[in-house]
Amino acid sequence: MNDIAQQLLTLLDVERLEVDLFRGLGSGGETTTRIFGGQVIAQSLAAAYRTVPEDRLCHSLHAYFIRPGDPSIPVIYQVDNARDGGSFTTRRVVAIQHGKQIFNLAASFHVQEDGWDFQHDMPDVPGPEGIPSRAELRDKYIDQVPEKFRAEFLRVRPVEIREIDPPEPFAPKPSSDVNYMWMRTDAAAGQSPQLQHILLAYTSDMNLLGSSLRPHGITWFTGAAMTASLDHAMWFHAPLQLDDWHLYAMDAPFTGGGRGFNRGKVFSRDGRLVASVAQEGLIRPRRK
């Protein structure tokens, strides 16, 4: 395993302080100015998993972002053992910094059961081969990035992303809200089903809110909008192995009132629907 992948696993490995109290690193995620939303989702899920029997896997989680996370200090995660039932287990997690909640999450865990099977088909899109990586795209635009931001812009990330039809970052044009990307991470190789969920929770916040920006010809680099994730929900449907390519098929059926609603489906390379995601985000116009 390479050093970048190991850094991601270290970032998501919360430390137990007490029976239901955990601590996670603040720095080291996708961004340096505030804690990346996927990081606090994943660390919260990791804390919850540390209190759940191993035969129960998360089937759904629902979360709210309350305050921006401060990457200069750790995050404290307090787990509430809401219920341990015959087949379902429920946990609530509160993330705390500076004595205040920055995030809270409710998650449900289920024993394995048999039942009817049905799923939507995976979209017919080009495979990841031949699509430029995130690093290759950023190299292409480095001359348009101010000097003081270039090192952070080019920093190697542990999740490999290949976007299908990405917008021009600095001169975007209005386009469809339909938003596809392939993703994988070496950190997932040989890991448990629980850690596959934690890693997917981390990656599920990548590019999702960008679906709401596409119809308006906006990207994070244009400075036209103040953006932030407001809430996040996930449903885990089937086993996954995130060191192999997965397609993240996203769209944004509604934007209004300074908010954008985004949906995502995660498919394995062989077409299995392994997870669904929904998120509302702030997309407030910046006043000039």
Domain chopping of the chain, boundaries: 3-112+129-285
Specify the pLDDT at position 31: 79
Q: Is 124 a catalytic residue?
A: no
Q: List, as one string, the DSSP characters of 3-26.
A: HHHHHHHHHH-PEEEETTEEEE-S
Alpha helices by DSSP H, listed for 150-240, are: 150-154, 193-203, 210-213
Specify the pLDDT at position 288: 63
Could you tell me the pLDDT band of residue 27, with boundaries at 50, 70 and 90? confident
Could you tell me the pLDDT band of residue 140, with boundaries at 50, 70 and 90? confident
List 229, 243, 268, 276, catalytic entry: 229
pLDDT tens per residue, range 34-89: 899 999 999 999 999 999 999 999 999 999 999 999 999 999 999 999 999 999 99
List 205, 212, 243, 251, catalytic entry: 205
Q: Residue 31 is encoded by which pair of tokens?
A: 């961004």
Q: Is 229 a catalytic residue?
A: yes
Q: Is 6 a catalytic residue?
A: no
Rounded to two decimals, what is the model's pTM? 0.95
Average pLDDT over residues 95-113: 97
Contact 264, 119 (CB under 8 A): no
CATH classification of 3-112+129-285 is 3.40.50.10190, yes or no?
no
